Structure 1
Amino acid sequence: METIIQTYQLTKTFKDATIIKPLDFALQKGEICALIGQNGAGKSTLFKMLAGQLRPTAGDMHLFGKTGRDVAQARRRMGFLVETPVFFPNFTATQNLEYFRIQRGVVEKKRVDEVLEIVSLAKEKRKRFKDYSMGMKQRLGIALCLLSSPDCLVLDEPINGLDAEGIREIRNLLVKLNQEKQITIFISSHILTELQLLATRFVFIKNGVIVEDISKDSLQEKSQKQLQLTVDDTAKTAQLLEQTYVDIQFKVLPNQVIIIHNHVECSGDINRLLLDNGVFVREFRIEARNLEEYFLELVGGNGHD
């Protein structure tokens, strides 16, 4: 499996604040990896270092296995949407991309039409940029990333500020690029739910530190249902659960509430166990775990971007 991005103790300090603490991270070919964190967690700073817009304070970075002076060459195989691209408002989509094609030395003139087709803007290519919707502007930004036929896209908050329709369009586009063109994607957002349907891997960052790195399957397991019980005796309930289910995972909350994370399929047996042992169960319900809340706890808090 080819490693596209590899960082070794990559660090970024501004004045006296360390925005990215020594970071070890690897992105494999074919992944759609979501980087999730609050605004100010360091997402943009990391992406700008990958893009070569910021110099790391310490540590090392390999792109496609290349390091040192060869990184700039390897970067050409990547498309970055890190800052909002500055398009000319009075130019059409075609004119804007033609300008960047010449500026970036992309030889094939037909590439402009190809990328507009890929991002479903071929029918809108004669419309002026200033008349585009927010979603169309973002798709044109992705078209710009695709001009040089990259193997990897690095996209910083590309769905920020989009409506549900715009988010769906970007999501479908990225899945298509990943599956049909085998493009590896590294994408950031501060909203987990927007990326849940897209990513194959989720990396959570808080104050410049990766606090969780989890596959889609594991994430789905975490979002499985849980049992919520309200009982008259939490200590006795906890004791009964631990005696009966060796690997039981639960937490005791205030107001006599117990949340059970696993063995949800045994809900009937658990209810009977408690009743048979004289625990009065006032409320017993199964609810889906709110992933957004789980990860807000994980990545909550403030930082700098």
Structure 2
Amino acid sequence: MEYVLKAESLEKKYRGYTALDGFIMNVPKGSIYGFVGKNGAGKTTLIRLICGLQKPTSGSFEIYGVRNNDKKILEQRKRIGAVVETPSIYPGLTAYENLKMQYMTLGLSDYKSIPDLLKLVGLENTGKKTARNFSLGMKQRLGIAVALCGAPDMLILDEPINGLDPQGIIEMRELIIKLNREKGITVLISSHILDELSRLATHYGFIDNGKLIREMSAEELEKECRRSTHIEVTDSSCLSSVLDNMGFEYKITDEHNVDIFGRPNISQLTKALMPSGCDIISVNENDEDLESFFISLIGGSKS
């Protein structure tokens, strides 16, 4: 598998505080990588290191195979567009003028592609309206348009849906998916809004206290968070025999508890258990979401 970003034993320390501690990361090319963690876990620190806004204390990272201490890293950073913390836009300028300013900053003299870029992010009809009069969602989309100037291969978004209303969240989600699928852009999204992240991410990295505690694909996450029926019985060994005959996949927790992956017919199950004298004590359905999975990784509760 080809990776656009790799980090190895990365550390970032401030006075009396370690933001990243032996951090490891692998972002596959073409993925939408959900970077999951609580506020203050180290997500923004990593992004600032990747973008060259800060330097690591120790360890290293690679962008498209080039290490951060290599002079060629500056060229690789040109392949990255980023919106870090807040969109970098000029409030007194129109959307078109904002993109023109970014083109000039990048040394691009041909502005013919600006209208297409505005259309891509849904801002083609803003005309002479200045950015200060944009909604928060429009400002976020303009920030992404600015990040897309220069046609980057990778886009880094730091909390892109923070503060957006439901409609703005939907528009942002659709834009990110469009950029990934139609333009082939790898997207790294830092977020603590896990329900929304689960609707678009293809891969995940879970960070806590500066450490990456788990990396996995969306398929692997779905298997771990899949629906199950928890059944408490008088004898789990008897239940396992019945489940084998019924073709169910299951996991025995102990001599009384079994997790069945699926939704068995309880009446049929009760009938099948009767000859063995095994009784069902309780039945509960489990459907772990991304938030619950994250909480189980770091320990604690949803409160």
> How high is the TM-score relative to the length of structure 1?
0.85
Asked if 1:182 corresponds to 2:181, the answer is no
CA distance in 2: counterparts of 1:164 and 1:196, whole angstroms = 16
SS in 1 for 2:47: helix
- 1:223 to 1:127, Cα distance in 2 relative to 1, 3 A: same
Gaps of 5+ in 2: none
2:165 to 163, 166, 177: 163
Asked if 1:4 corresponds to 2:31, the answer is no
CA distance in 1: counterparts of 2:47 and 2:7, whole angstroms = 12
Contact 1:106 1:147 in 2 (8 A): no
SS in 2 for 1:30: coil
CA displacement 1:271-292 (0-9 Å, x = unmatched): 4465555455354243433332
Contact 2:177 2:200 in 1 (8 A): yes
SS in 1 for 2:72: helix
Contact 1:227 1:267 in 2 (8 A): no
Gaps of 5+ in 1: none
Asked if 1:297 corresponds to 2:299, the answer is no
- 1:290 to 1:182, Cα distance in 2 relative to 1, 3 A: closer
> Hey, what does 2:216 align to over in structure 1?
214
SS in 2 for 1:219: helix
Compare 178-187 and 92-101 and name the one that shifted more.
92-101
- 1:290 to 1:277, Cα distance in 2 relative to 1, 3 A: farther
CA distance in 2: counterparts of 1:71 and 1:88, whole angstroms = 28
CA distance in 2: counterparts of 1:46 and 1:237, whole angstroms = 50
CA displacement 1:242-271 (0-9 Å, x = unmatched): 67679842557xxx9x56253654756654
Contact 2:34 2:203 in 1 (8 A): yes
Aligned length: 294
CA distance in 2: counterparts of 1:39 and 1:155, whole angstroms = 15
CA distance in 2: counterparts of 1:38 and 1:261, whole angstroms = 31
> Hey, what does 2:38 align to over in structure 1?
38
SS in 2 for 1:180: helix
Asked if 1:260 corresponds to 2:259, the answer is yes
CA distance in 2: counterparts of 1:290 and 1:186, whole angstroms = 21
> Hey, what does 1:93 align to over in structure 2?
95
Residue 63 of structure 1 and its aligned partner are, at CA, apart by 0.9
CA distance in 1: counterparts of 2:274 and 2:129, whole angstroms = 69
Contact 1:33 1:203 in 2 (8 A): yes
SS in 1 for 2:55: coil
Identity %: 34
Q: Which amino acid aligns with 2:139?
A: K
> Hey, what does 1:146 align to over in structure 2?
148
Larger RCO of the pair (alpha carbons < 8 Å, separation 6+): 1
Q: Which amino acid aligns with 1:128?
A: T
SS in 1 for 2:90: coil
SS in 1 for 2:295: helix
| Structure 2 counterparts to residues 225-264 of structure 1, below 5 A | 225-229=227-231, 236-238=234-236, 240-241=238-239, 248-249=250-251, 251=253, 258=257, 260=259, 262=261, 264=263
CA RMSD of aligned residues (A): 2.7
> Hey, what does 1:25 align to over in structure 2?
25
Contact 1:241 1:248 in 2 (8 A): no
Contact 1:206 1:300 in 2 (8 A): no
Contact 1:157 1:189 in 2 (8 A): yes
Residue 118 of structure 1 and its aligned partner are, at CA, apart by 0.9
Q: Which amino acid aligns with 1:17?
A: Y
CA distance in 2: counterparts of 1:268 and 1:217, whole angstroms = 32
Contact 1:116 1:125 in 2 (8 A): no
CA distance in 2: counterparts of 1:76 and 1:30, whole angstroms = 17
